[in-house]
Each structure stands twice: as structure tokens, then as C-alpha cells.
Structure 1
Amino acid sequence: MDRPLAADLLLLTLDEDKGTTLVDSSSLGPALLGATLVGFVLDGTLGLTPEKGEIQDAPAQPYPVGPGRFYRTSAPPPEDALLARIAEDAAGKKPKDAITSIGVYTFSDTTGKLRGHLTAWLVAEGLVQESSQRMLGLFPRTVHPARDPRTRRALLGDLRAVYQGSNPATPRTAALAAVVGAIDAAPRLFPDLDKRALKGRAKQLRETQWAGRAVAKTLEEITTVIIAAAVVPTIVVTSGS
């Protein structure tokens, strides 16, 4: 299958040398699911119905679901079984509700399965390798350092150009930059760039309809869920201390 947008996101968040993730799992899980949904909108697997009163930008009438909700288009479903199930589960839901009902506040662990699935895909494609190590010499953990860093470095180059505005952004790269900004990973990937400017650019990419209203609306809603999911563990830790 073609490399999913979420696989690009996961690859970017893996440290090339250490093989550990640069962001907390509480943010990464929802972000991977959100990137998957944005990818579906970009490739036409899912459409998004207009909100009430909005100008309708899709030809099919009547819409199969209510306003502001995903619907399955006539495009073939993803060949990958897990991605196909996520697309079907998202249909009929608003973007923010799709993330929360599929994987954030449920016991299905879809986000965990998705992360493992995407990691296995990166290993199979030879982009990262899987190895085991022990923390403090005691606790085993699995890490995924780079095997072939060229793809990741090319993605970093594309993102840098988008954040700096030096090159026109493709819809895919702009979407990736917006999601990276939502999990506050851009400053870690580009420590030489101004943090405030990076946040501002990511916000602009989320709100601008450079790839149509459906993508912009999806990015806006999933960003809200990603930020909320990252805040919950902090609240729990703080209240328990």
C-alpha cells in the first residue's frame, strides 16, 4: 500500500539514533488516528458533509449522513484491513467524535493497534529497525532507530520549507505540518527555528482552506481532541501529587 499520512507522522516522531518517540504517547496516539482520518479525506476515501448554512462543495445529493459528518465515498476502501475498519467506523461521525469514539476514550485500544500497525509497516519497508534494550539495565523496552534515514530527512526538508514558507506546500505536506504542530513536535524537530513562529504557522495551516473546507474542518476538530487528550494525563498527575 502507499505510505499513509500517519506513517509519515510516526516516522518523524521517532529519534533516528535512539529509536524512541519525541512526543508523549497520550498525544501521539490520537494524532496518528487524526492523521489517518485527514489522509482519508485527502485521498477521497471519506468526504465531509457541509455544516448547515455552508456552501456545499460536494456533488452527491442527498448526503447519506447529517451535517458536518464523515461519509464513505464511492472510492474503494483501503486495502489494509485495520485502515478499512477505521474508515467505516468514522463514517457518520463528526471528526472530533470519530477520534474519541474509535480510540481515545474507549477500551478498544485502536490507537495502540494503529501505532503498532504503522510501526510494523515502517520496519517492513526498511525505514526503521526494531531492537530491544533495557532501561537502567533492568526494564526491557523496544525501540525503533532508523535503518534508512533518507525518507525521514526528506520529510523534514519538506516540512521546514512549509514552516518557513519558502516553497508552496502540497496538501499532504501541509496537512502533515499541521498535525505535527498540533502535538507541539515542530520545535523538537526544528530547534533552530523560532518556536512562536512555528506555532503560528501550524495554526495558519489548520485554519486555511488550502485543500478545501473538508480538510480544514477535519484538522480543526482533531486538533481540539489531540490537545485535550494530552492535557488529561497532566491533570491526573497534578491532582494526585
Structure 2
Amino acid sequence: MTLIAEDLLLLLLDDEKGTLAASTYLQTALGGALLVELALGGAVEVEEKRGFWHSAKVRATTPTTPTDPLLAAALATVAEKERSAQDLVNRLGKGVKDDLLASLERRGMVEPRRDKVLGLFPRTTWPAVDSTHEDAVRRALSAALVSGAEPDDRTRALVALLDALGRAHKSVEHQGMSVGEVRKRARALADGDWAAKAVKDAIAASTAAMTAAVAAGGAAAASS
């Protein structure tokens, strides 16, 4: 099974060009996806935020090491000490993009393509090789966002992460629905009473960090 972070990365990659959308705040997004996956597995909990000046802290709740090496490394970081969720998602996401891409390459889903921009600046893109899994993920998202089907917890979590990035409506074919309707459905799925408190708290903390990153990126772009 792929990680939620891997599915998120696939959805943000252009299948033909191999370039990434939302690259400015990708680190925060991938860190949030890892935190949410740990919460879904019962490995972490997020305390309630107590007042404006008190950030919600995250702590490990299990000594059991996940079998996936990326999740194991993420849990080890959580277990070092209690940190704010916003600090933690950025720590978890630091440098993880390359590890996730390498994992997707090993699975035969993407491949590296190296070239130079303007013949001078080296870059690596990651076009799709086999989109079978990504297509299945998009079908699950479409069923939830467009057809009104009841999604599983992993799909709901992915919807919440995409919604925080402003990408939920860009991940599915609308089939006659407006952008606003798809966004409204995404928000309803993300906010619904569907998961254990630890999972909902992790999603809330992760999406808050992503929303702040997106807002900061927009403000920086506007001032430049």
C-alpha cells in the first residue's frame, strides 16, 4: 500500500511534464500527510489547543515502529520531544520529497528525466510511467467529491489535505459540477464527524500549517 504522502505527491505531479504543482509549500504538505498517516495508525496524538498563545503539541503514543521506513523516521522525530504541530509538519516534510519520489520510482509509477533549463540549469522532472494506481486514487476522489459516495478514512484525509492546498477541485473531473460545488463538498468531507479525535486533530493541525504556508506564499508573490 502506498503512503498518503505518496498519493498526494502523485496527484501534484503533472503526468506528462513531471513537474510539481504547489511546490512552494510542498514540504509542509508532505509533512502533514505523514503526520496524518501516523495518526490514522494510532501512533501519535495532538493535544487540544489551549488559547491563542498556546500551540497544540504532538506526542508519540506507541513504541511500535512502523514497517515503512519513512513512517518510522517520522515517528522517531515525533518521539524526540513534544513539538508544535506547525513546527513538526515542517520537520517531517524536510527532504522527504526525494525519498517519496525514489519510492514511487521503485514502484514503477514515475521515472526521473534529467535535462537543462535554457541549456544551462540542471533539473530533474518525474513524468508518469504507470498511472494505474494514481487513476484509482482519482476515481476514489471523484466518487467522493462528485458522485457523493462515502469515502474511506484515507480518502477523506487526502481530501482534507488537498482542500488545504486549494487543489481538491483540480484533482478530479467535475462532470457538470461547478468549482464552488466541488470545493464545498471537499470542505464538508474534511470537516465531517468521521474520524477518531486523534486523527481529526492531526488533520486540523496539518491543514492549518498548510493554509498558513499557502497564505504566506501568496503574500510573498503579491509583494514581489
Taking the TM superposition and a 5 Å limit, the aligned residue runs for 1:59-70 are 69-70=57-58
Sort the Cα spacing of 1:82 and 1:190 in 2 relative to 1 into closer, same or farther, 3 A: closer
Counterpart code for 2:135 = R
Taking the TM superposition and a 5 Å limit, the aligned residue runs for 1:105-124 are 111-124=93-106
Aligned match of 1:62: none
Sort the Cα spacing of 1:46 and 1:7 in 2 relative to 1 into closer, same or farther, 3 A: same
Structure 2: unaligned runs, 5 residues or longer = none
> Once the two structures are superposed, what CA deviation does each residue of 1:25-47 show, in whole Å capped at 9, x if it has no partner?
12222111101100001112223
Aligned match of 2:78: 90
User: How far apart, CA to CA, are the structure 2 residues paired with 1:119 and 1:12?
Assistant: 12
Residue 75 of structure 1 deviates from its aligned partner by 5.3
Aligned match of 1:71: 59
- 1:155 aligned to 111, 120, 137, which one? 137
- With normalisation by structure 2, the TM-score equals 0.85
Counterpart code for 1:99 = V
Q: Is the 8 A contact 1:181 1:198 kept in 2?
A: no
User: How far apart, CA to CA, are the structure 1 residues paired with 2:192 and 2:85?
Assistant: 17
User: How far apart, CA to CA, are the structure 2 residues paired with 1:208 and 1:86?
Assistant: 27
- With normalisation by structure 1, the TM-score equals 0.79
Q: Is the 8 A contact 2:142 2:173 kept in 1?
A: no
Residue 111 of structure 1 deviates from its aligned partner by 2.7
Aligned match of 1:235: 219
Q: Is the 8 A contact 1:28 1:183 kept in 2?
A: no
User: How far apart, CA to CA, are the structure 1 residues paired with 2:48 and 2:172?
Assistant: 36
Structure 1: unaligned runs, 5 residues or longer = 53-66, 103-109
Q: Tell me, what secondary structure is at the counterpart of 1:175?
A: helix
Q: Tell me, what secondary structure is at the counterpart of 2:151?
A: coil
Residue 116 (structure 2) pairs with residue 134 (structure 1):
yes
Aligned match of 2:196: 212
Aligned match of 1:12: 11
Report how many residues are paired: 217
Q: CA RMSD in A?
A: 2.5
User: How far apart, CA to CA, are the structure 2 residues paired with 1:68 and 1:227?
Assistant: 16
> Once the two structures are superposed, what CA deviation does each residue of 1:126-182 show, in whole Å capped at 9, x if it has no partner?
011111123344432111111111000010000011112532210011101111111
User: How far apart, CA to CA, are the structure 2 residues paired with 1:97 and 1:112?
Assistant: 11
Q: Tell me, what secondary structure is at the counterpart of 1:70?
A: strand
User: How far apart, CA to CA, are the structure 1 residues paired with 2:45 and 2:65?
Assistant: 13
Q: Tell me, what secondary structure is at the counterpart of 1:209?
A: coil
Counterpart code for 1:187 = H
Residue 70 of structure 1 deviates from its aligned partner by 2.9
User: How far apart, CA to CA, are the structure 2 residues paired with 1:164 and 1:176?
Assistant: 15
Sort the Cα spacing of 1:68 and 1:112 in 2 relative to 1 into closer, same or farther, 3 A: closer
Sort the Cα spacing of 1:5 and 1:194 in 2 relative to 1 into closer, same or farther, 3 A: same
Q: Is the 8 A contact 1:134 1:140 kept in 2?
A: yes
